[in-house]
Amino acid sequence: MSSIDERLAALDPAARDPYEPRHLDEMISRIVSTSPASTRVPWWRRLQVRLAGGVVVAGALAAGTLALVAGGPTLSVLAVQSAYRSVPATPGTTFAAAAQVRVNFVAGASLGTQTSSSPVYELGVPGSSASTARHIAAVFGDTGALHHSGSNWVVRNDSGASLDYQTSPVPQWFYSSTTYRIAPATKSHVASVPMPSHATLIADASGYVSKLGYTYGLASPDFSSSTVSITNAAGAPAEQSQEQATFIVTLGTRTTDQTLSITVGSKNQLILAQGPAFRVRASATYPLVSARGGVKSLNSAEHALAGAGSSVPIDHVVLARAALSLSAFRLRDGATWLLPIYTYSSRTEKATTWSEVAVAPMYVHLHAGVAAALLHH
Amino acid sequence: MGAEEEARFARLVHEHSGAVGNYIRRRLYPLSASDLDDLVEETMIVVWRRLDRVPEDAELPWMLGVARNVLRNARRSKTRRGALEARLVPMSDASSAEDHVIADESVRHALATLSEDDREILLLNAWDGLDTHALGSYFVISTNAAAVRLSRAQQRFRELLNDAQVR
């Protein structure tokens, strides 16, 4: 027999027929424009505020209008300039164009109507890229000479170990214990000798993150083994078994589009490693549209890609699942932020997913092309 | 100045309109979608007018308290739209939102036998998800007092449920 709590929960009228908020932005505009607010100065106005980048122009809060706000725990509109994802060169490379149809997305029954909120994060780049590159290199025992080219900094040891530190778009570090004159070739996808355990690799990766001083987390490790053919320092051919672990980088409870990976040999010696090199400079909590509500924005972007009056046939795709994660964007002022996105998938189109910024529309302004960059991948 | 209040109000609406709507739906049944939208908007109008009083750490329970008054006014008012009033199901009568969906007769009987105060705090916790801190804000009592009242309501409900099942 179900517990009492379960029996009560089963009788919840809203569970059978939940309220779905509609036209909230219109309601807000209507209320604000016709009803005076209290003239008392609220206590939270005395708090400091950090403005999101690219916010301009004071004005009424309405769809598509940027608003400058200041003072207290209020929210600025996020002016997104670009997404750090690969962008289809032309609409012809998108899923829809490839299939010679225009897609109409339909929200499946499982997509929720509940709105929520999520932290967004401004990523900070250390003031001295040279010092940062040397610090990261030292963690891996690389104390060689520093070289600089554009946004790329390299510390290279006489032994051949090298550390690359890139400051843009999202700061990244890459370590290699050896600089091969001839790149290794994969011989097989299995190791020819016993390799360190997965638990050892997980501990290794966490240890590096801790030594590097980053506060992001690691989740969902994916492991793979291989045997590669290499040319050793003496110029002779050799084989090396490797074990690689790739992690999803997390902030708080959210996964991000960043990954960290390490590759070790049979003696757990580090061969390769790479990961993000950011620290969180600021964060704020923004309201999100529901997963179901995001489908409307998805359709707007898709229809904009297809063009007005498009005569291609329409294919209806039912979106069954929406995963919420953080993805990197560049704002108008050049700062990099991790913003929440919904990534939708369909039971029928298994090879394709579609993404949409999950922040409530009144708090985000997308530059032309950002939606297209997210739409198909 | 206006932009600050507007931004906070907009956040409150986006974050809590769903919970407010569900609170109203649980207590007035049947109710059309548009009528429910109207009652949610009436609640939000009050929230906007008293924005400076919305406590930072108890926004939702405060707003539900407003919705509670909106519901009472909706039932009492004789100048409401006739179509809406004709469809209202009085909460204090035997017929309630639960009646329309309850198939579990034991639970229905136990809920109906509870006092209105006990039923309200029990369902605010079980259905609206308010913890003791939020219940304290809703009823304007201390958290400890809310915890005691909830515990007693739950105990009485279990006793009534056991009695109903024994018969």
Contact present, B137 and B60 (Cβ < 8 Å): no
With 0-12 / 13-18 / 19 or more C-beta atoms within 10 angstroms meaning exposed / middle / buried, residue A189 is exposed
A266 in the same domain as A151: yes
Residue that terminates a domain, selected from A223, A256, A279? A279
Kindly state the average pLDDT of the residues A101-115.
85
| A61 within domain boundaries | yes
- How far apart are alpha carbons B16 and B58 in whole angstroms? 12
| A6 within domain boundaries | no
A344 in the same domain as A308: yes
- Do A7 and B15 count as a contact with CB atoms less than 8 A apart? no
Take residue A24 and report the two structure tokens written for it. 């909230």
Å between A269 CA and nearest CA of chain B:
50
CATH number of B1-90: 1.10.1740
In angstroms, the Cα distances linking A370 to A40, A130, A329 are 40, 32, 9
A-chain residues within 8 Å CB-CB of B63? none
| A3 within domain boundaries | no
Q: Please check the confidence at residue A1 and state whether its pLDDT lies above 80.
A: no
Interface residue of B6, B107, B122 to substitute, partner A, most A CBs within 10 Å: B6
A287 in the same domain as A275: no
Kindly state the average pLDDT of the residues B78-91.
38
- Which pairing describes strands A102-107 and A314-331: parallel, antiparallel, or unpaired? parallel
Query: How many separate domains does chain A show?
Result: 2
**B102-167 topology per CATH:** Arc Repressor Mutant, subunit A (1.10.10)
- How far apart are alpha carbons A190 and A185 in whole angstroms? 14
| pLDDT attached to residue B147 | 77
Q: Do the domains B1-90 and B102-167 sit in the same CATH topology, yes or no? A: no
| pLDDT attached to residue B95 | 43
A226 in the same domain as A137: yes
Kindly state the average pLDDT of the residues A81-92.
49
A74 in the same domain as A56: yes
A294 in the same domain as A240: no
Kindly state the average pLDDT of the residues B100-123.
79
A109 in the same domain as A228: no
Residue that terminates a domain, selected from A227, A248, A279? A279
Specify the higher pLDDT residue, A249 or A239.
A249
User: Which chain B residue's Cα is nearest to A359?
Assistant: B14
Per the structure, the complete domain to which residue A141 belongs is given by 127-279
Specify the higher pLDDT residue, A66 or A37.
A37
A344 in the same domain as A297: yes
A215 in the same domain as A137: yes
Which amino acid, residue B109?
A: H
A123 touches B: beta carbon within 8 Å: no
Could you tell me the residue ranges of all domains in chain B? Answer: 1-90, 102-167
Interface residue of B14, B20, B47, B63 to substitute, partner A, most A CBs within 10 Å: B14
A-chain residues within 8 Å CB-CB of B29? 13
Residue that terminates a domain, selected from A226, A253, A279? A279
Instruction: Count other Cβ atoms within 10 Å, centred on residue A256.
Output: 22
Q: At what angle do helices B33-49 and A24-34 cross, to 10 degrees?
A: 40
A364 in the same domain as A270: no
Q: Please check the confidence at residue B77 and state whether its pLDDT lies above 70.
A: no
Please give the model's pTM, rounded to 2 decimal places.
0.54
Contact present, A244 and A227 (Cβ < 8 Å): no
A246-268 tens-digit pLDDT: 899 999 889 998 889 898 999 99
Closest CA to B51 of A70, A27, A77, A39: A39
- Do A61 and B157 count as a contact with CB atoms less than 8 A apart? no
A100 in the same domain as A69: yes
Q: Please check the confidence at residue A56 and state whether its pLDDT lies above 50.
A: no
Provide the ipTM: 0.78
